[in-house]
Structure 1
Amino acid sequence: MTDNNNLTKRDFLKRTGTASVAAASTVFAAPYVRAQSDTITWRLQTYAGPALAEKVIKPSIDEFNRIADGEMKIELYNANQLVPHGELFRALQNGTVDAIQSDDDSINAPVDVSIFGAYFPFASRYYLDVPVLWNWYGIRELFEDAYAEIDNVTYLSTGAWDPCNFATNKPIRSLEDFKGLRLFMFPTVGQFMQRFGVTPVSIPWEDVQVALQTGSLDGVAWSGIAEDYNAGWADVTKYYLTNNVSGAWAGSYFVNSTSWEKVPEKLKRLYMMCIDASHYNRLQWYWWGEAYYRVHGEKLEMTSIPESEWRTVEDEAFKFWDEKAQEGPRNARAVEILKQYVDTMRKAGPPYRYESS
């Protein structure tokens, strides 16, 4: 037995070493690390090219991944990066991707109400019209009802993007100037503009700039002026028509139902909050950009069609609405809602609608 009053150096090291190991195991226990296999990983493809995606979705996905803190990660892919855009809905349905951000119209969503995605002619005049129509006038319920009939796809949300104006290499100052123009357009609005002599063209988003440079396209009616500058189209067109055929693009978020069911409730709520944050962020960016580039942009010359003549286009749109209302009861209800909305906004007067509109 060792005398406590006469510890050798060896005894001291033994005792203190044992105590130190015990203390270390208590105070400095290894932190919990989530196993990689526990992380939910999604693949999300957007309609947008790289530069545009930086504005319209990437900030919200980055924030989701940061807050999810390893519990879930969303990998973001740009337009056509995983699958061609026209096949995106089918890819979502079969699980090739877990989520998408796009309009219903250009992804060939197999629902009757898909025509009201993207740019339904003159359905909106300002960005706020879209969330109000969806969340306060009943369009959202029509979309939910339609997508409930589709296997393995869950519709989540619709928000507003930019208006549909015309950036071209030929000036447009009258309706006559539309005749013969080959324009990159969304399906439904392209179908409508055929009434004025336009030839709508559908090609991959990333091919548009080259097509404008080579003359295969005369212009684009795919966005407002903010995206014309963002996408580089302002570098290869000359004129910008200030009249628009729709005040805001209606874009939606969808998820694969099987993937969605595997996500814990708190992460579902986080994803929905990030979607709402993205909707809010875009309202600011587009409202800023559409005015800023008209005034300070130096690449495009502004042209306009007189309001009295442009009224012809708007009147024709209401005929187009009535034709689309004949395609089914949900479409009829959507058109009825749009008419009620227009009537309310006009009667409300400024700032909701002005006499010239």
Structure 2
Amino acid sequence: MTGIIKPQSPSERILATRRKFLTVAGLAAPAALAAPAIVRAQAPIKWRLQTYSGAPLGAHVIKPQIDAFNAAANGEMEIELYYADQLVPTAELFRALQNGTLDAIQSDEATMASPVDIAVFGGYFPFATRFSLDVASMFMYYGLDKIWEEAYAEVENVTYLSTGAWDPLHIFTVNKPIRSLADLNGLRVFGVPTAGRFLSKYGLIPVTVPWDDVEVAMRTGDLDGVAWCGFTETYEVGWADICKYALSNSITGAWFGSYFANTASWEKVPPHLQQLYRSTIDQSHYYRNVWYWGGEAQLRVHGEKMEQTQLPADEWAQVTKDAEGFWDEMAAGSDRAARVVEIFKRYAADQQKAGYPYR
């Protein structure tokens, strides 16, 4: 007797299609990159890399890249991948990189407690972006890359490599819908530091717990929700099975995530493998841009697991206005921070003047 095959839900079909993109993007089949095995006299270079991400999301934002690198390195180098909090707590990532406990990391500055004066701009900086390509554009054309390189050149034993975009930031709640700013008051929400600092203006309470404990904390009522990601991650990691509501207003359009290496470890890597590592980072940036951009829209339209709510237009206008004051407050932190905010302002003005499809 043939068993009955249960039809896929809309979100299951979307997620399955998006996972297939791993193969299309050339990131899911690292074996295809491998050259014939060559006997080598010396042992391969071994690295330990830890990401900010838990394993379910890490399957997209880092693992394909590391698998591809390890295959293409052809035995000359191997990177061991660790997910959030597996070797060190996420808040200690930067220190562990600097002292050589880790050879490389993938994170935003704010989450990993980077000591640089631009750390507040890593992760989700309120309204700094509208789309994921805004991140790459500001680093390529407006000089954010030079500012990041300058900041980390002042930090001993850390080499900054690259920054890319992740998903937009939304607030997802378990039982309490957000239909006005007043509904934020008292909400205990897991989230990234800078966005949480901004949203606390409206009474939201940012809570920090290990990533793997977020689901349990929402189920037990210790957390009311998350302000950590977009629809993609919420569905991918299972939080959409717990949260009943999604606020459609996005606090910012994309997360700033970066790659760093321990300088001593990086200098031991020969130039051709350094280039290979940079190339797989770029490939990962490309994959994430498409995976998030297309998938976010599909899940907002066809995802069936959460009711979407929206702030009244006048209240949302107030939030965007409040962000201007927040920008100025952050710019006062240092000359370099002021230069970052000036780039945000100039870029936003240019995009506005460019019109459709930019703004």
Matches within 5 A, 1:17-28: none
- 2:357: which partner in 1? 351
Give, in whole Å, the separation in 1 of the partners of 2:279 and 2:297.
28
Q: CA deviation at 1:32?
A: 5.5
Per-residue CA deviation, residues 233-267 of structure 1 (Å, 9 max, x unaligned), is: 11111000110111000000000000000000000
Q: Which of structure 1's runs of 4+ aligned residues deviate more than 3 A?
A: none
- 2:301: which partner in 1? 295
Matched, 1:105 2:110: yes
Give, in whole Å, the separation in 2 of the partners of 1:323 and 1:144.
23
Matched, 1:60 2:68: no
- 2:280: which partner in 1? 274
Q: CA deviation at 1:98?
A: 0.2
SS in 2 for 1:302: strand
Give, in whole Å, the separation in 1 of the partners of 2:123 and 2:38.
46
Matched, 1:246 2:252: yes
Q: 1:164 aligns with which of 162, 169, 183?
A: 169
Q: CA deviation at 1:309?
A: 2.2
Per-residue CA deviation, residues 49-72 of structure 1 (Å, 9 max, x unaligned), is: 111111111111111111100011
Structure 2 gaps of 5+ residues are 1-36
Letter in 2 for 1:128: L
Per-residue CA deviation, residues 292-328 of structure 1 (Å, 9 max, x unaligned), is: 1112211111111133321111110110010111110
- 2:141: which partner in 1? 136
Q: 1:208 aligns with which of 202, 205, 214?
A: 214
Q: CA deviation at 1:139?
A: 1.1
Matched, 1:115 2:101: no
- 2:39: which partner in 1? 33
Question: Based on CA coordinates, which of the two structures has the bigger radius of gyration?
Answer: 1
- 2:3: which partner in 1? none
Letter in 2 for 1:341: Y
Are residues 70 and 179 of structure 1, via their aligned partners in 2, closer, same or farther at CA, if it must alter by over 3 Å?
Answer: same
Matched, 1:91 2:96: yes
Report the TM-score when normalising by structure 1. 0.89
Letter in 2 for 1:140: D
Letter in 1 for 2:71: R
Per-residue CA deviation, residues 58-94 of structure 1 (Å, 9 max, x unaligned), is: 1111111111000111111111111111111000001
SS in 1 for 2:118: helix
Q: 2:132 aligns with which of 123, 127, 131?
A: 127
Give, in whole Å, the separation in 1 of the partners of 2:104 and 2:238.
27
Matched, 1:196 2:205: no
Q: CA deviation at 1:351?
A: 1.2
Give, in whole Å, the separation in 1 of the partners of 2:185 and 2:56.
32
Matched, 1:317 2:323: yes
Q: CA deviation at 1:121?
A: 0.6
Report the TM-score when normalising by structure 2. 0.88
Q: 1:263 aligns with which of 265, 269, 286?
A: 269
Give, in whole Å, the separation in 2 of the partners of 1:190 and 1:166.
11
Give, in whole Å, the separation in 2 of the partners of 1:221 and 1:326.
26
- 1:231: which partner in 2? 237
- 2:334: which partner in 1? 328
Letter in 1 for 2:271: E
SS in 2 for 1:260: helix
Matched, 1:146 2:151: yes
Which stretch shows the higher mean deviation, 337-346 or 302-311?
302-311
Q: CA deviation at 1:140?
A: 1.2
Letter in 1 for 2:169: C
Give, in whole Å, the separation in 2 of the partners of 1:76 and 1:311.
42
Matched, 1:74 2:79: yes
- 2:184: which partner in 1? 178
- 2:223: which partner in 1? 217
Give, in whole Å, the separation in 2 of the partners of 1:305 and 1:131.
29
- 2:7: which partner in 1? none
Give, in whole Å, the separation in 2 of the partners of 1:297 and 1:51.
18
Give, in whole Å, the separation in 1 of the partners of 2:137 and 2:318.
26
Give, in whole Å, the separation in 2 of the partners of 1:250 and 1:308.
28
SS in 1 for 2:249: strand
Aligned-residue Cα RMSD (Å) equals: 1.1
SS in 1 for 2:288: helix
Letter in 2 for 1:291: A
